[in-house]
Amino acid sequence: MPLTRISLRRGKPTAYRQAILDGLYEAMRETFNVPEDDFFMVVAEHDAADFRCSPTYLGIARSDDLVIIELTVNNTRTLAQKKALYRRIAEKLVNNPGVRPEDVFINLVETLPENWSLGHGIAQYAADTAA
């Protein structure tokens, strides 16, 4: 049940932003065992003054087209699945909408399954124990 947040500089067309959302969802379905219809995604656009990043950290030449992707997920995936997800996201976004691989920044935040309520004030993923 990933919660996906995408941050980028303001000014990209709707089709560009939609391609990012679609590519992320497809990559998660292909590599992360995300069920069909399991998507909760938001895009936040920022003015140049409110969007800063290192253009060279770790020797990676980033541009103003950087896309920051934060995925909050259950801590149930293997390292191999995580690496596959990162690769597939980059491949998808390079293909469409044409993001440079250097401009794909991914942060994975893992949480325990009981830390989610997907509606009705119920912890749907929590073990059913009296607590």
- The CA distance from 34 to 39, in Å, is 9
Strand 67-74, strand 40-46: pairing = unpaired
Active site residue: 2, 13, 35, 101, which one?
Answer: 2
Query: DSSP string spanning 51-77?
Result: ----SSGGG----TT-EEEEEEEES--
DSSP 6: E
Does residue 2 have an active-site annotation?
Answer: yes
How far from 112 is each of 72, 74, 75, 76, CA to CA, in Å? Answer: 10, 6, 6, 9
Indicate which residues carry an active-site annotation: 2
